[in-house]
C-alpha cells in the first residue's frame, strides 16, 4: 500500500508569522499535534508540533504571571521555533518505508508531497490504523501464526484448504522465520473454526503453528 491511501489529505497548515499562542489555539481547536508551515508561495518551509510549543513556553518555575506569559507567547512567532530541516515523503512512497523513516528518525509525522506541493500528512496514528487493518484486528475469526517451510506453493495449498472448508482469509502478514528455510505468516480467517484450521496446517509439508486463538 502507498502513503496516499492512508494519509490525511488537505492537512491544516499555518504560516511562519503565526504566534505561538495562535498556533496552540489552532492545534487545540483542530485536535492535531502537528502543523506544517507554508510560506506565501505555498512552499513547505517548516513544521511545528505541540512538543515544540511546550519547549518554547516558559518553565513552570518561572516568576512570570499568566498575563505576562500570554503576552510573551503572543509576540513570539512560530518561525523562531519551528523545525526547518524537514523530512518528507512523496505520496507514492510505500507505507512501510514511511514507517521505517519515522522509526529510524524518531519522529511522529511526515509531510506528504506531490513533487514540491504539500498534499497530506502521515502520522504514527495513521501507521497504527494501518497495522490494525493489516492484521484484520477488527474482524472476528481465527488468528493463527504459522511457520511455513520456505517452499513454493505452501501458501497456495493452505489457502486452497481454507477455501474448500468455506473459510476466508481476511488478512495475511508475512515475516522472516527463525531460520533461512522457514517463513512466518500471521493470518486472520473467518468462516471456519479453530479446529478446522489446525487440521489444514497439519496437511502442509513441514509447517508448525506458533500461536492460534479466536
**Which residues make beta-bridge pairs with 211?**
145
Closest CA to 86 of 13, 29, 147: 13
* pLDDT, position 74: 63
C-alpha torsion 1→50→78→95, nearest 10:
-10
Reported pTM: 0.78
All three cell numbers of 186, joined, read 500471521
pLDDT of residue 61: 40
48 Cβ neighbours under 8 A, 6+ residues apart: 14, 23, 34, 35, 37, 78, 81, 82, 83
Q: Is 115 exposed, middle or buried (0-12, 13-18, 19+ CB in 10 A)?
A: exposed
What is the arithmetic mean of pLDDT over 89-98?
96
- Strand order across the 168-176 sheet: 168-176, 182-190, 142-149, 208-213
Q: Write the DSSP symbol of residue 14.
A: B
For residue 193, what pLDDT band results from cuts at 50, 70 and 90? very high
pLDDT, tens only, 108-126: 999 999 999 999 999 999 9
| Range in 37-51, 54-68, 181-195 the model is least confident about | 54-68
* pLDDT for residue 75: 65
Confidence of residue 201 (pLDDT cuts 50, 70, 90): very high
Question: What count of residues does the chain have?
Answer: 214
pLDDT digits (tens, 9 = 90+) for 135-157: 999 999 999 999 988 888 888 99
Q: Which domains does the chain have, with CATH numbers?
A: 3-131 (3.10.580.10), 135-213 (3.30.70.260)
Pairing of strands 109-114, 89-90: parallel
Amino acid at each position: 500500500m502507498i502513503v496516499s491511501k492512508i494519509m490525511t489529505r488537505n492537512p491544516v497548515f499555518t504560516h511562519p508569522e503565526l504566534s505561538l499562542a495562535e498556533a496552540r489555539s489552532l492545534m487545540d481547536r483542530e485536535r492535531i499535534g502537528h502543523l506544517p508551515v507554508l510560506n506565501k508561495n505555498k512552499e513547505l518551509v517548516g513544521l511545528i508540533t505541540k512538543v515544540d510549543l511546550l519547549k518554547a513556553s516558559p518553565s513552570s518555575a518561572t516568576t512570570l504571571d499568566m498575563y505576562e506569559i500570554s503576552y510573551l507567547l503572543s509576540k513570539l512567532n512560530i518561525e523562531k521555533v519551528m523545525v526547518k530541516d524537514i523530512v518528507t515523503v512523496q505520496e507514492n512512497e510505500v507505507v512501510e518505508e514511511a514507517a521505517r523513516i519515522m522509526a529510524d528518525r524518531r519522529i511522529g509525522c511526515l509531510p506528504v508531497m506531490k513533487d514540491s506541493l504539500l498534499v497530506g500528512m502521515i502520522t504514527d496514528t495513521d501507521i497504527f490504523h494501518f497495522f490494525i487493518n493489516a492484521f484484520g484486528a477488527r474482524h472476528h475469526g481465527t488468528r493463527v501464526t504459522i511457520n511455513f517451510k520456505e517452499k513454493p506453493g505452501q501458501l497456495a495449498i493452505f489457502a486452497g484448504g481454507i477455501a474448500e472448508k468455506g473459510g476466508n482469509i481476511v488478512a495475511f502478514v508475512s515475516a522472516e522465520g527463525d531460520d533461512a528455510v522457514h517463513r512466518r505468516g500471521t493470518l486472520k480467517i473467518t468462516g471456519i473454526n479453530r479446529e478446522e484450521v489446525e487440521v489444514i496446517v497439519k496437511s502442509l509439508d513441514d509447517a508448525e503453528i506458533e500461536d492460534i486463538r479466536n
